Structure 1
Amino acid sequence: MDDLDHRNLGVKLKLWHLQEDAPGMVFWHPRGYAVYRVLEDYVRRKMRRAGYAEVRTPQLLPKEFWGRSGHWDKFGEHMFRVDDGEQAMALKPMSCPCHVQIFNKGLRSWRELPIRYAEFGACHRNEPSGSLHGIMRTRAFEQDDAHVFCREQHVEDEVARFITLLDEVYRELGFPNYEVALATRPAVRAGDEATWDWSEAKLGNAARQCALVPQINPGDGAFYGPKLEFALRDRLGRSWQCGTVQLDAVLPRRLEASYVAPDGSRAWPMMIHHAIFGSLGRMIAILLEHHGGALPFWLSPDQVAVAPISKDQAGYCADVLAAFEDAGIRAVAYDGADTLSRRIVAAHEIAVPVMAIVGEREMRDGRVSLRERDGSQADVPLTKAVSRLQARARPDALKAEAL
């Protein structure tokens, strides 16, 4: 592994660790979980503004439930099974059947559709040990899962809405260049050929509506429907498959999801599955390698390191720290016994983007000396330092921070 491999960066930057007796399970440290939550909250805001209602569903469900959905036959060997003495259970590998259960509670009308659910779902998959790769591929992960229940006439517009959202997120995160592929019907599949023809055409039309021309990946679709797959390209030119949008006419019927149509008859909704990242851990790993470990200010776990020149400024250092924290800036005190130069080096080693140095003069005048990663410095009033850094931490500052 080289120095820019996320597995090395995670340890060096004190973000997480993995251990041999828990393969594929991530132990998130405080700094790593801070990054995790910032990224999660960023997507949460996007989804809420796009009209999705956030839900939470169980992790452990009966085998019979997964059998009805079709996942037990397709993925059973990769599911973690639990025997409670009365019935076989399994940890969920994905959230889609659970969202159908929420849709099914109550009589649904065509006037309610589309209905959009989103969940940061904790999922478990018993991946072969040889396929595990740092936090990019694990056995326990959180998926930014979302599902839309809609009528057939909504499908193209709903898929296009998602692509527009995905495009916005990828560009703000610094990935303006991405590729899209249309994965078509696999050899083993559910549903009739006419439905597959219609579904593949709808996904292709939605992509073209967003000025995308997908390449065709024959046979790579899910067992219940075709999908669009989005692959990021990082600054090293590497491609990472992340986002997906899948069209499903099978699962709603299997789990008896229905709504009352305009003529009063019972109708089956179309179900659109999609994720922007696929896995939050995987996206963090990609961002780390993309930025060489030097995450942009908005995403850095510790955004500012406040360092007094001597213990005489300890009280003012605490005031500076409180001012940053009150403004929502993630700040940490570097006020140990080491020399100032060693404390600066320590902050640099874990990629803290900004140092706020306070000495006798800064304390007297109510100022701080800001030092950036690139070596540039600015001596400014504390109030100005707070407003300047607060602006860089806002979501609308992401484009300026992206590479």
Structure 2
Amino acid sequence: MSNITVSLPDGSERELPAESTALDLAASIGSGLKKAAVAATVNGVDTDLTRTLHDGDTVSLITNDTDAGRHVLRHSTAHVLAQAVTQLYPGAKFSIGPAIENGFYYDFDLPDGQTFHEEDLARIEKQMKEIVKQNQPFIRSEHTMAEAKELFADQPYKVEIIERVESAGADELDAGEVSGDTISAYRNTDEFVDMCVGPHVPTTGRLQHFKLQKVAGAHWRGNESGKMLQRLYGTAWESKQALAEHLHQLEEAAKRDHRKLATELDLLSFPTELGGGLAVWHPKGAIIRKLMEDYSRLRHETGGYEFVYTPHLAKSGVFETSGHLQWYEDGMYPPMEMDNGTYYMKPMNCPIHCLIYRSRQRSYRELPLRLFELGNVYRYERAGTLHGLLRIRGFTQDDSHIFVTREQLADEIAGLLDFVLSVLRAFGFEDFTFNLSTKDPEKYVGSDEIWDEATEALREALDRHGLDYAIKEGDAAFYGPKIDIDVRDAIGRSWQLSTIQADFNLPERFELEYVGADNERHQPIMLHRALFGSIERFFGVLVEHYAGAFPTWLSPIQVRVLPVAEAHEDHANEVAERLAAAGARVDMVKADVGLGKRIRTAKMEKLPYVLVVGDDDVAADTVGVNVRVDMVGTNDDGTPADDVERDVPLDAFIERFQNEVADSTAAALSA
């Protein structure tokens, strides 16, 4: 039998015996690649390593340390989870079990009213490890719709998916189970088979490093009126070290959870009386928010923006014109019927900014026209998606809409990129990723030509800055493509914050015009832009980034003064007054309890500086300075400096404090 030749991603070719598989290809290259490979891409299609190759195929091997490889690991582990549950809970029905970011889940319907509990995870995990130990192969098969319904006759959720595809041509790719008219399935043993597109690892023995994490509830197909299923979450990685690092990061993330810290630091709360997804800001949180807003206003004022204000609700016609009622109504609060029409709480500010532009005739000399608003918006997020400040129903956007000519478009976008990055750096972020989101072919307004032009303008700006970026196909808003800017926080997590969108469509829908130098009427192009994204979400990310230990310039209380005893309280008050006069946010806590306890309390509140005043300090006008641990420098030998400084002249501390805040403020404004 003759050999075959396949092409590799680097353009080289490799000769293999006929009937060779992608796994054989990996083995022919090296034992390390054979061990690391989990799937393959053959002629552009992801497939199992056990697939037979043919002469002329183009083959790329997917390894377990890539995003695509981890997806295969996690989806395969989800299958093992379903198999373990059906063994431990006879009669269990399983629905969907996709890979997700950093992990996987599977939804189950247990018989006889049984429920999962956290203590059951260890038992299920033990059963999964037994399946892994048996090194069971993942064997793929393909079936007609009728065959598949018979195969899964005892699994009603699988049958429902098949029938949806059969009757409506529904695309179930999100579940990773169905594609086209053929149903594919993977069998591990004679007793367990699951419906799936694949690919999967060759055998369960490849799934060594996983951990079940939690139990949750989930409505079938995300329908709040549907049956409540039980969801098991887990994570899976390519190595013991990668799993350990991820679990450690989760521990760090739990410590940094902004909801927990907001309560501990008395920053804000979510009273149940208000309803889900609505926050109230306490005085300390409000101080930080005011600093953020003041900074934003100053940057926009010096950056050529004009301030506007718009109402919290508007008549339905505004959102009909903009297209939001057609494309975004599910994310809007229900309408309110008034005596003169139907009103909606505004989900975004852009349609009303268009009305401001349209209020009078505009000249090309006014462009770029940059309108800015800290605008409150309201979006009806589903209850199950709410997450503190990160997913909320009422929030404030640092929202700008910029009207430009075609000739100004590229330069304005380039300038916006500089503006965005400078603001993010001012708040301590330095690691960015960029994504260019393109048109969703099923959800857009306007012509292909203007979408192409808008997309190219964003691409040109990214290229001009020499920035690496990923393309997110079909992820744009319905009215235009966008650049999303993600930041990486102190423990390596990525957060999507800032957005720049190019929009040819709303100016057309609102019939916006300007008179050009040729005395003819032209349509402007509109740029949508938020730097923080929203005040609330940005604040939540800041809390987690700093673990509540804000830099001195952002800290709600910068200095606390502690008298050693009651006899020192008058002098401590004088110290606090002098600090306040020097611009510090300062308080004094009386000597009602022991000094040690008061110092520990201040440290728990993550205050930058705690000043202690005793007998010698009263006499010498000095203070003992306790510096927050993360702010302590190092000695000449590299060891951490002492976080307690004694006998520091108060005037010297005040000068040092003022210089620190001034330097931070100057750096923020010039970032």
TM-score normalised by the shorter chain: which range applies? over 0.9
How is 1:118-267 mapped onto 2 (pairs within 5 angstroms)?
Answer: 118-187=372-441, 188-267=443-522
CA contact (8 A) 1:173 1:399 kept: no
Residue of 59, 72, 75 corresponding to 2:328: 75
- Please give the per-residue CA displacement for 1:133-174, whole angstroms capped at 9, x wherever unaligned: 111110011111111111011111111111111112222322
**1:379 match:** 647
| Structure 1 consecutive aligned stretches of length 4 or more whose deviation exceeds 6 Å | none
In the alignment, the residues of structure 2 paired with residue 37 and residue 364 of structure 1 have an alpha-carbon distance, to the nearest angstrom, of: 38
Q: Is the 8 A contact 1:186 1:223 kept in 2?
A: yes
AA of the residue aligned to 1:20: T
Quick check: 1:14–1:350 contact (8 Å CA) kept in 2?
A: no
User: Partners of 1:312 and 1:287 in 2: how far apart?
Assistant: 40
Q: Secondary structure at the residue paired with 1:393?
A: helix
| Cα distance, 1:87–1:306 mapped onto 2, change above 3 Å | same
CA shift, 1:366, in A, is: 2.6
Return closer, same or farther for 1:83/1:366 CA change in 2, 3 Å cut-off: farther
Q: How many residues are paired up?
A: 400
Match among 255, 259, 267 for residue 7 of structure 1: 259
Matched, 1:337 2:583: no
Q: Which of 298, 310, 326 pairs up with 2:581? A: 326
The whole-number CA distance in structure 1 between the counterparts of 2:591 and 2:377 is: 41
- For the pair shown, which has the larger CA radius of gyration, 1 or 2? 2
Per the alignment, in what secondary structure is the counterpart of residue 370 of structure 1?
strand
AA in 2 matched with 1:259: Y
- Secondary structure of 1:298's partner? coil
Report the AA paired with residue 374 of structure 2: F
1:219-241: CA deviations, max 9, x gaps? 11111110000111112111111
1:50 aligns with 2:303: yes
Equivalent in the alignment of 1:366: 621
C-alpha distance in 2 between matches for 1:313 and 1:53: 51
- Give me the whole-angstrom Cα distance separating, in 2, the residues matched to 1:240 and 1:398: 26
Give the AA of the match of 2:310. T
AA of the residue aligned to 1:36: R
Please identify, of 389-398 and 373-382, the stretch whose mean Cα deviation from structure 2 is larger. Answer: 389-398
Is 2:362–2:513's contact at 8 Å kept on the other side of the alignment?
yes
Q: CA deviation at 1:362?
A: 2.1
Report if aligned partners of 1:173, 1:398 keep a CA contact under 8 Å in 2.
no
Deviation, 1:127, is 0.5
Corresponding residue to 2:359 among 105, 116, 132:
105
User: What is the rounded CA distance, in whole Å, between the counterparts of 1:167 and 1:308 in structure 2?
Assistant: 43
Structure 2 CA distance for aligned equivalents of residues 363 and 56 of structure 1: 52
Name the CA distance, whole Å, in 2 between partners of 1:317 and 1:209: 56
Shift of 1:38: 1.3
Q: Provide, for residues 274-332 of structure 1, a one-character-per-residue CA deviation record: whole Å limited to 9, x for no partner.
A: 11111111111112211222111111111111111222232222222222222322111
Shift of residue 203 of structure 1?
0.3
Q: Secondary structure at the match of 1:24?
A: coil
Report how far residue 336 of structure 1 moved. 4.8
- Counterpart CA distance in 2 for 1:379 and 1:95 is 55
**Deviations for 1:349-373, whole angstroms, at most 9, x for unmatched residues?**
1111110222232223333222101
Distance change (3 Å), C-alpha of 1:384 and 1:82: farther
- RMSD value over aligned CA atoms? 1.8
Distance 1:240 1:324 in 2: 37
**Matched residue, 2:543:** 288
The one-letter code of the counterpart of 1:122 is: N
Q: Unaligned 5+ residue runs, structure 2?
A: 1-252, 630-642
TM-score by length of 2: 0.58
Provide the residue aligned with 2:137 in structure 1: none
Q: Distance in 2 between matches of 1:48 and 1:74?
A: 34
Deviations 1:221-275 (A, max 9, x none): 1111100001111121111111100001111122222111111111111110111
Q: What TM-score do you get using the length of structure 1 for normalisation?
A: 0.95
CA contact (8 A) 2:624 2:644 kept: no
SS of 2:290's partner is helix
Q: CA–CA distance in 1 between the matches of 2:390 and 2:663?
A: 25
Gaps of 5+ in 1: none
Q: Indicate how the Cα distance of structure 1 residues 95 and 14 shifts in structure 2: closer, same or farther if over 3 A, else same.
A: same
In structure 1, distance between residues paired with 2:339 and 2:397? 30
Aligned partners of 2:503 and 2:527 also within 8 Å: yes
Q: Distance in 2 between matches of 1:368 and 1:105?
A: 60
Paired with 2:314 and 2:591, the residues of 1 have a C-alpha distance of 50
How far apart, CA to CA, are the structure 2 residues paired with 1:258 and 1:366?
67
- SS of aligned partner of 1:165: helix
Aligned identity (percent) is 35
Q: State the alpha-carbon separation in 1 of the partners of residues 552 and 433 from structure 2.
A: 27
- Helix, strand or coil: the match of 1:99? helix
Q: 1:197 to 1:312 in 2, by over 3 A?
A: same
Letter in 2 for 1:147: H
| Residues 307, 355 of structure 1: 8 Å contact kept | yes
Q: Tell me the equivalent position of 1:114.
A: 368
User: Partners in 2 of 1:399 and 1:309 — Cα distance?
Assistant: 36
Amino acid in the other structure paired with 2:293: E
Task: Map Cα deviations across residues 99-131 of structure 1 (whole Å, 9 max, x no partner).
Answer: 222222232110111111111111110100111
Match of 2:120 in 1: none
The separation in 2 between residues aligned to 1:278 and 1:398, in whole angstroms, is 23
Residues 563, 591 of structure 2: 8 Å contact kept: no
1:42 to partner: Cα distance = 1.9
Provide the residue aligned with 2:176 in structure 1.
Answer: none
**Partner Cα separation in structure 2 for residue 167 and residue 127 of structure 1:** 29
Amino acid in the other structure paired with 2:364? W
Which stretch has the larger CA shift, 22-31 or 326-335? 326-335
Higher RCO structure, 1 or 2 (CA under 8 Å, sep 6+): 1
Kindly tell me: are residues 398 and 26 of structure 1, through their superposed partners in 2, closer, same or farther at Cα, counting changes over 3 Å?
farther
Instruction: Give the distance between the partners of 1:382 and 1:158, measured in 2 at CA.
Output: 48
Task: Give, in angstroms, the shift of residue 72 of structure 1.
Answer: 1.6
Do 2:309 and 2:373's aligned partners in 1 also have CA atoms closer than 8 Å?
A: yes
SS of 2:328 mapped into structure 1? helix
Matches within 5 A, 1:296-311: 296-311=551-566
Contact 1:61–1:92 at 8 Å: present in 2 too? yes
2:269 and 2:656 map into 1 onto residues whose CA distance is 34
1:395 deviates by 6.3
Is contact 2:439–2:481 with CA below 8 Å preserved after alignment?
yes
In 2, distance between residues paired with 1:296 and 1:378?
23
